[in-house]
Amino acid sequence: MTIHQLHDLLVKKEVTSREATEALYRRIGEVDGKIKSYLMLSEEEAFRQADEVDRKIIREEKIGGLAGIPIGLKDILCTKGIRTTCGSKILGNYVPFYDGTVISKLKENKAVFLGKLNMDEFAMGSSTENSGFQTTRNPWDLQRIPGGSSGGSAAAVAADECIAALGTDTGGSIRQPASCCGVVGLKPTYGRVSRYGLVAFASSLDQIGPITKDVEDCAILLDGISGYDPFDSTSVNVEVPDYKRYLVNDVKGVRIGIPDEYFIEGMDPDVERSAKEAIDLLKKLGAEVKAISLPHTSYAVAIYYIICTAEASSNLARYDGVKYGFRSHRYGDLMEMYGRTREEGFGSEVKRRIILGTYVLSAGYYDAYYRKASQVRTLMKNDFEKAFEEVDVIVTPTAPTPAFRIGEKAEDPLQMYLSDILTIPVNIAGIPAISIPCGFSREGLPIGLQIMGKHFDEGMLLRAAYTFEQNTDFHLKKPSLI
């Protein structure tokens, strides 16, 4: 069931929020042993929230679109009194004393929190194989990855273990798993959604966003979490529109740009075919399609892995075994305690990125790497601004391949990093983008279409995505294995 379908039933008193929550916990009990989406369940909190909404409905009080809707939360969002691990053993026992702003907003909207969802450790990964606790599996093929780092969120939505979920996107971590699992995922404009209470990986890139079953749900959840927040210095004070008003089945006159640089060598032929068929459909529906160029695209992966590792090196310095989280018991002096805590608490990918980031920020290398990457980042941002003078949206595949097999790229970090080659530029430029289902591979695996937009123009993304969705049925198909 979608958010809007369940909302209609709640309002009509055909089902209660408690009944919906109980049904989802039964579903989790049936399938999550195979999928492994959840790291923990918050049943006591969920039923308290559900009962509160049910009492409001009994009293004939009006409820909002998210009231009583059971959702899952990526385990990188601080939840007061509920353990928040970031998929890392170094935070295995951390219980925040405050809610992040998006959590506070969802509480104000009376949403129901089912539990915390698995992820790559500190959001560093493209497969959810880097979690410190378990590997999440793709509901479409249990031998394949669900994408990352929000793999638990995307898999839970695809497997009907929640109505919707929140993820975070630093280089594609909402859109790529959405593509792999056949669901909708939107990365908002940087500054549209507050980052307060989001445990930082790379502060100039991270953004929270919705993962849902259809585009209408995406608009509803985005509306619930967007807005200016004085607690977040990167939050932008721009008016938030009613996103549901953009859900119109019409792309007549919408200018769509197709960059040659995104149809790369080595792209899976099924992905290329599905994306081009999707573009042809949008053209038949009245959109104007034209070729554009984003000339600095080839530098995206190199820029990203300099900037994100540098920021990770700075952000993760706080995990030292002193203030909170895990502390090694095997040490002599303070320096040894620092070293052993990090050695035992962090996984191999997090260590790799901390080392890379520390290197590119170190004396003698800062100018050659971090400063140069920041300069080229500006050039990439300019590429998008120039392109958006000619087009309203840019359409590309979301990922170069469908979901790959678990373990297939685990020993080759560079191949793993290239999984995000089509999503990374969006984060570098700070623009919004959405991934929607647009086809299936010959093996029956979902394929995603990425639509990028101008800063703070999420409405146009939703319009284009909704039109495509209303004229196809890819989003209605469900994995048959579970």
Sequence letter at residue 42: S
Sequence letter at residue 80: K
pLDDT in tens, 163-181: 999 999 999 999 999 999 9
Evaluate whether 256 touches 280 at the Cβ level (below 8 Å): no
Cβ neighbours of residue 275 under 8 Å, at least 6 residues apart?
263, 395, 396, 397, 438, 439, 447, 449
Active site residues: 74, 149, 173
pLDDT in tens, 254-313: 999 999 999 988 899 999 999 999 999 999 999 999 999 999 999 999 999 999 999 999
pLDDT bin (cut points 50, 70, 90) of residue 62 is very high
Instruction: Report the distance separating Cα 357 and Cα 377, nearest Å.
Output: 17
Q: For the range 135-139, what are the long-range contacts, defined as Cβ-Cβ under 8 Å and sequence gap of 24 or more?
A: 135/36, 135/406, 136/35, 136/36, 136/37, 137/34, 137/35, 137/36, 137/406, 138/180, 138/181, 138/403, 138/445, 139/31, 139/35, 139/181, 139/479, 139/481, 139/482
Instruction: Report the distance separating Cα 187 and Cα 458, nearest Å.
Output: 9
Percent of the chain beyond pLDDT 90?
A: 97
Sequence letter at residue 18: R
Boundaries of every domain in the chain = 3-254
Evaluate whether 425 touches 385 at the Cβ level (below 8 Å): no
pLDDT bin (cut points 50, 70, 90) of residue 99 is very high
pLDDT in tens, 432-473: 999 999 999 999 999 999 999 999 999 999 999 999 999 999
pLDDT in tens, 4-56: 999 999 999 999 999 999 999 999 999 999 999 999 999 999 999 999 999 99
Instruction: Report the distance separating Cα 458 and Cα 287, nearest Å.
Output: 18
Q: Is the pLDDT at 127 greater than 70, yes or no?
A: yes
Q: Is the pLDDT at 482 greater than 70, yes or no?
A: no
Map 50-68 to HEC letters: HHHHHHHHHCCCCCCCCCC
Q: Is the pLDDT at 399 greater than 70, yes or no?
A: yes
pLDDT on residue 395: 98
pLDDT bin (cut points 50, 70, 90) of residue 77 is very high
pLDDT on residue 131: 98
* Overall pTM surpassing 0.85 (yes/no): yes
Taking all residues of the chain, what is their mean pLDDT, rounded to a whole number? 97
Instruction: Report the distance separating Cα 282 and Cα 280, nearest Å.
Output: 6
pLDDT on residue 255: 98
Evaluate whether 159 touches 35 at the Cβ level (below 8 Å): yes
State mean pLDDT over 362-380.
Answer: 96
Task: State the pairing for strand pair 393-397/446-453.
Answer: antiparallel
Q: Is the pLDDT at 480 greater than 90, yes or no?
A: no
Evaluate whether 373 touches 379 at the Cβ level (below 8 Å): no
State mean pLDDT over 395-420.
Answer: 94
Q: Is the pLDDT at 481 greater than 80, yes or no?
A: no
State mean pLDDT over 340-364.
Answer: 96
Evaluate whether 415 touches 129 at the Cβ level (below 8 Å): no
Residue 421: what are its φ and ψ, rounded to 5°? -60, -30
Report the CATH superfamily, name and number, of domain 3-254.
Amidase signature (AS) domain (3.90.1300.10)
Evaluate whether 207 touches 456 at the Cβ level (below 8 Å): no
Closest CA to 26 of 166, 162, 164: 162
pLDDT on residue 413: 87
pLDDT on residue 323: 87
pLDDT on residue 258: 98
pLDDT in tens, 178-189: 999 999 999 999
